[in-house]
Amino acid sequence: MFVDSHVNLHGEKFADDLDEVVSRAHAANVPYMLNICCNLKDAEATIAVAERFDNMWASIGTHPHDAKDNPEIKPNDIKTLCDHSKVIGVGETGLDFHYNFSDREVQLTNFQAHIEAARETQLPLIIHTRNADEDMIKILEREMKLGEFPALLHCYTSGETLARKAADMGCYFSMSGILTFKNAQDVRDIASWLPEDRIMIETDCPYLAPVPHRGRRNEPAYVPLVAQALADIRGWSLEETAERTTNAFFNLFTKAKKVPK
């Protein structure tokens, strides 16, 4: 059994066939999914999708691209939504200085509010980071010293230094279909040594479909392809990869409670 630790199923790209998408995931031995909130205005929709399905959960947060939509965000704005039984994580949040769709200072303020919410709730912080390695290292080191909180660097594509620093701080990592991309050897190299008990897999659907589906809409049924790529990199069997990545998910997201089949 596999976990897709990062899906975006509440958007318009799945509006017409969501039930079929989830059925295909289950048929592919992917019964567990975490539906990610990327803007607080979408919190209700994110949770509503998770409520429809057993063994699907939700997060609450605002992506750095959308930080401009919540410039005055406070930790309590996030925390008040975290009491829901289906909400098991804080984010997606972080820093993206590649696209800079939101101003740098707004991203930093937004990220800080999410960190404080994660620290106070002890729900894992789901981090997006791109072209922000030095800032991310400084922030994580400073904030962990002020009070530790569980954290996941999702769809990891950043550098080795950040990966090693974050690993030393106890962070978890998730790998996506990028592992299958021809020009992603640097990502595969990092995946080869990440802590074996703190690595998981994701699709980030509808984005980043793995080979041979690259360029099409991604969906949770494809996460076993990510698992196979990780298995090949680590020298694990597919069954071992499923067990390790599933255990990592439930060890981090301790609020997630499985519904027996």
pLDDT score, position 136:
98
Domains of the chain: 3-252 (3.20.20.140)
Residue 176: how many other CB atoms lie within 10 Å: 28
Q: What is the pLDDT of residue 260?
A: 86
Closest CA to 5 of 200, 225, 173, 232: 200
Q: How far apart are CA 151 and CA 169, in angstroms?
A: 9
The pair of three-digit structure tokens given for residue 83, joined into one six-digit string: 């009491």
Task: Please check whether residue 133 is in contact with residue 98, taking contact to mean a CB–CB distance below 8 angstroms.
Answer: no
pTM of the model: 0.97
3-state secondary structure of 152: strand
Mean pLDDT per 10-residue run, the chain (261 residues)?
Answer: 98 95 98 97 97 98 96 95 97 96 97 98 98 98 98 98 98 98 98 98 98 97 98 98 98 94 69
**Cis-peptide into 206, omega within 30 deg:** yes
Tell me what percent of the chain is helix, strand and coil, each rounded to the nearest 5.
45, 15, 40
DSSP 216: S
Q: What is the pLDDT of residue 51?
A: 98
What is the pairing mode between strands 87-96 and 32-35? unpaired
Tokens of 37: 């909130």
What is the pLDDT, as a whole number, of residue 130? Answer: 97
Phi then psi dihedrals of residue 222, to 5 deg: -90, -5
Q: How would DSSP label each residue in 99-116?
A: T-SS-HHHHHHHHHHHHH
Q: Rounded distance, CA 134 to CA 131, Å?
A: 9
